[in-house]
Structure formats: structure tokens, C-alpha cells
């Protein structure tokens, strides 16, 4: 291969290697460092973008074999395989070790994750964080129904990702995309114009850079990335239905079960999470374990064994054509689990629980979050277990 061609190839491979390193570093910030195999998933379109190629599925595997040789000294032998419409890149423990030892602190993404992990964070605080790292920040309020703000560093420092921020009523979540993937998604900007080439599917995932992370341990650590393992516990980044189906492109598992279908371990983890949120965090004094659980459908997101988001749904005894949602919780914030849980739960309720409306008691701070799913306030404020609530209802078909 001529020198110029070799230089071009190294440049293309460097973009994919940098993307892998960024995702591994982000995961290590959220989960902590562990010497382990990490699996990241990319759609074909994203790989072609990163490698500046126009490969089909077969020739992409050949290109990725060559990439493995290029990155072996740093990340070890990266193996590529096709899994459905995606490609899995398995980075061995050597890669996790290399990122931990050589890639520094990634201060901006670390500060962003730390900021968004708290309750009550405002969009102004998030935008101020961007401005602390650069005076060349592009921030645009959007009205596309997908997210609230598009933010990025115009000079590509400290990174050149596109950050899409969403205020979910009580906490803010982010998804980040490569510039190329963002353009391909064709989101509308604040003026109603579409970015990119009009492709609306994006071939993508919730993390936006085209990948979904996995680990092999499945130890239930809380993670906004989508990490998975080889024991069937799949946790997704970026974004199991029926009873269980991998969601959102990485390592979270969304599960729906009737009470009698729950395993002992699942029930234990559900009750542990409910205790942590309602009794320890919110200090409510109530009979959490009640007979309603017997007649409810239980919707939850698992990361490993840990139940990190949960709600239950049941028919109201006084209104047979009305379904109530209750015990809604998330253990982590800023990663979109609340939205993901609600979206999938409403879809399953519509399929499996015929009714005219859905009702819930919302804490006052969360009203804006539920309004995004078609719920409307139908009562005055009232105290429930010492916390201000309102009744909200959603007519089916909305």
C-alpha cells in the first residue's frame, strides 16, 4: 500500500478508535473502571460515516478486521460480528485498561454526568456548564418533539459531539451524537427546518453515536449507558418487550410481568427499590406492600439484577374502564430511564389492558414530565403522605 493510502487509512481508523475510546471512558465515569470486555454496537450507516467508506454488510466485516489490526497495540484484539442489523465490536480487557490508564479524566463529560445525576437541575445550569468549558458554545432551543436543546462546542473542544438535552420535569437527560449521525437523523431546528438529508430513522440508538455498550459481569451497577452481559441481562445505552426484550441499544432490560410471573429475585429487587425511594428517600409512611400488587402488571427496567425503574398498573375497582398507574420510581436520573419506562409501559397498557383512560397521582414537580405523554391535570392540589400531588388523566388513543 502506498504511503498516502496508508496515511488515509490510519486517519479513517483513528476516528473509529477515538469514538470507541470516548464511549468506554463515558461508561467508566458512570460505572467505575473494571478490567473487562466491553461490547459496543453500531449500525452500518454510523460505521460507514466514521470510516468514510461505503461498505455493505459483508465488506464492512472485512474492514473491521483490518481495523482490529490497526488498534491492537492500544485496545487489544477487537473482534467484530454481525448481530441483526447491527455490528458488535468487542473490546477486550486490554482496551478498558488502556482507556483507564492513558485517556485522562475527560473533565467535561465527568462534570456533566455529575451535574445531571442530581434532582432539580435546571437547563440554565447545564448550559452554564458548557460555557465554563468554552466561549464558543452553540445552543439552540428546539421545537421538534424529540428534545429541548441542541448544544455543542463550535470549535470541537473539548469534544465535537452534538448534545441533545431534554427536560423531563424534575431532571434533565442528555444524548450525544456524532455530527454526521445528527445530520442524518434530520431533526427539525427551532425554526421548523430540518437538519441533514431528511432521513428520519437515523439507524441509531439513544446514545446517538451509533453504539450501545455491554459488559460481561451483569452486577447490577447503575448506568446511563446501555451495558449488557452474556447472561441475558441486556442494558442499553442511547435506547424486551412482551415479557422481556432488550431496549435502547445496549444493556438495560425492560420487563412486564403479572405478579404470579415474577421470580423471587425480581420481586425482592422491586420491593428493595420501592423501599429505597418511597420510605428512605421520600420518607413516606405508608403500607407499601399491599394486596394491589397481586392484581397489577409490573413494569420495570433491570440493569443486571438491580431494578432501576419501576411502575405498576391495575384496574381501579370503582371504575372498571380506568387503569391506575402507581409506585413510579427511578433510581438514576439524567439518563432517560423515566421516559423510556413510561413510553414502553403506556404502549403495553394499550395492548394488554383495554380501558378508556389512565389515571395517576403525580407529585407537583413531575406534572411537566407526565404532560409530555398526554396526561392532563384533573384536580386541585392535595397532600398525599405529606407530599403535594395532583390527579392526572390520559384518555386512551391520545
The CATH number for 284's domain is 3.40.630.30
37 lies in a domain?
Answer: yes
The answer to whether the beta carbons of residues 89 and 42 sit under 8 Å apart is yes
Answer yes or no: do 273 and 389 share one domain.
Answer: yes
Answer yes or no: do 89 and 3 share one domain.
Answer: yes
Answer yes or no: do 134 and 93 share one domain.
Answer: no
Q: Does 191 have pLDDT greater than 60? A: no
pLDDT band at residue 174 using 50, 70 and 90 as cut-offs: confident
pLDDT band at residue 365 using 50, 70 and 90 as cut-offs: confident
Answer yes or no: do 266 and 363 share one domain.
Answer: yes
Residue 325: left (phi > 0), alpha (psi -120 to 50), or beta? Answer: beta
Domain span at 334 = 244-395
- pLDDT given for residue 3 in this prediction: 53
Of 210, 283, 298, the closest CA to residue 249 belongs to 210
Of 69, 88, 103, the last residue of a domain is 103
- pLDDT given for residue 158 in this prediction: 93
Give percent helix, percent strand, percent coil of the chain, each to the nearest 5: 35, 25, 40
Of all residues in the chain, what percent carry a pLDDT higher than 70? Answer: 75
Answer yes or no: do 89 and 151 share one domain.
Answer: no
Answer yes or no: do 275 and 380 share one domain.
Answer: yes
Answer yes or no: do 273 and 343 share one domain.
Answer: yes
236 lies in a domain?
Answer: no
- pLDDT given for residue 297 in this prediction: 95
Answer yes or no: do 257 and 365 share one domain.
Answer: yes
Single pTM value for the model: 0.52
Q: Does 302 have pLDDT greater than 50? A: yes
Answer yes or no: do 63 and 142 share one domain.
Answer: no
Per-residue pLDDT reduced to its tens digit, 55-108: 998 899 999 999 999 999 999 999 999 866 678 899 999 999 999 999 888 899
The whole-angstrom separation of Cα 220 and Cα 333 is 16
- pLDDT given for residue 18 in this prediction: 92
* All three cell numbers of 127: 448550559
Answer yes or no: do 187 and 253 share one domain.
Answer: no
Residues 279-284: what's their mean pLDDT?
69
**Domain tally, the chain:** 3
Of 188, 209, 230, the last residue of a domain is 209
Residues 333-362: what's their mean pLDDT?
88
227 lies in a domain?
Answer: no
Q: Does 15 have pLDDT greater than 50? A: yes
Residues 228-244: what's their mean pLDDT?
33
The whole-angstrom separation of Cα 305 and Cα 108 is 30
The whole-angstrom separation of Cα 385 and Cα 283 is 9
238 lies in a domain?
Answer: no
- Give how far Cα 359 sits from Cα of 312, 315, 346, 364, Å: 12, 10, 12, 15
- Count Cβ neighbours within 10 Å for each residue of 142-178 and write b for 16 or more, e otherwise: bebeebbbbbbbeeeeebebbbbbbbbbbbbbbbbbb
DSSP helix/strand/coil, 294: helix
Amino acid at each position: 500500500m502506498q504511503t498516502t493510502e496508508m496515511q488515509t487509512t490510519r486517519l479513517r481508523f483513528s476516528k473509529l478508535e477515538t469514538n470507541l475510546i470516548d464511549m468506554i471512558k463515558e461508561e467508566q465515569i458512570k460505572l467505575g473502571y473494571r478490567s473487562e470486555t466491553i461490547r459496543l454496537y453500531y449500525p452500518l450507516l454510523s460505521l460507514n460515516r466514521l470510516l468514510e467508506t461505503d461498505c455493505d454488510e459483508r465488506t464492512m466485516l472485512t474492514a473491521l478486521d483490518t481495523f482490529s489490526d490497526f488498534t491492537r497495540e492500544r485496545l487489544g484484539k477487537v473482534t467484530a460480528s454481525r448481530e441483526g442489523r447491527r455490528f458488535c465490536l468487542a473490546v477486550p480487557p486490554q482496551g478498558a485498561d488502556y482507556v483507564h490508564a492513558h485517556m485522562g479524566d475527560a473533565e467535561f463529560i465527568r462534570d456533566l454526568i455529575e451535574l445531571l445525576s442530581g434532582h432539580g437541575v435546571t437547563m440554565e445550569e447545564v448550559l452554564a456548564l458548557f460555557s465554563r468549558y468554552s466561549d464558543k458554545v452553540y445552543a439552540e432551543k428546539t421545537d421538534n418533539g424529540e428534545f429541548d436543546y441542541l448544544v455543542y462546542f463550535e470549535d470541537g473542544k473539548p469534544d465535537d459531539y452534538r448534545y441533545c438535552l431534554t427536560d423531563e420535569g424534575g431532571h434533565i437527560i442528555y444524548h450525544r451524537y456524532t455530527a454526521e449521525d445528527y445530520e442524518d437523523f434530520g431533526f427539525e431546528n427551532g425554526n421548523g427546518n430540518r437538519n441533514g438529508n431528511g432521513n428520519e430513522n437515523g439507524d441509531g440508538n439513544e446514545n446517538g453515536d451509533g453504539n450501545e455498550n455491554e459488559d460481561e459481569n451483569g452486577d447490577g451497577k447503575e448506568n446511563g449507558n446501555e451495558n449488557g452481559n452474556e447472561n441475558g441481562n441486556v442494558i442499553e445505552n442511547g435506547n424486551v418487550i412482551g415479557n422481556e426484550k432488550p431496549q435502547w441499544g445496549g444493556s438495560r432490560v425492560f420487563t412486564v410481568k403479572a405478579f404470579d410471573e415474577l421470580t423471587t429475585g425480581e420481586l425482592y429487587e422491586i420491593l428493595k427499590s420501592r423501599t429505597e425511594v418511597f420510605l428512605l428517600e421520600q420518607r413516606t409512611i405508608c403500607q407499601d406492600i399491599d394486596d394491589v400488587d397481586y392484581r397489577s402488571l409490573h413494569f420495570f427496567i433491570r440493569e443486571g439484577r438491580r431494578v432501576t425503574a419501576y411502575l405498576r398498573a391495575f384496574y381501579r375497582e370503582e371504575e372498571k374502564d380506568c387503569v391506575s398507574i402507581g409506585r413510579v420510581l427511578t433510581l438514576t436520573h439524567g439518563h432517560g430511564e423515566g421516559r423510556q419506562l413510561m413510553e414502553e409501559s403506556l404502549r403495553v397498557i394499550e395492548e394488554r389492558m383495554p380501558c378508556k383512560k389512565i389515571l395517576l397521582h403525580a407529585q407537583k414537580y413531575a406534572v411537566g414530565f407526565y404532560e409530555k405523554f398526554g396526561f392532563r391535570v384533573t384536580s386541585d392540589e392535595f397532600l398525599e403522605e405529606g407530599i403535594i400531588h395532583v390527579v392526572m388523566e390520559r384518555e386512551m388513543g391520545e
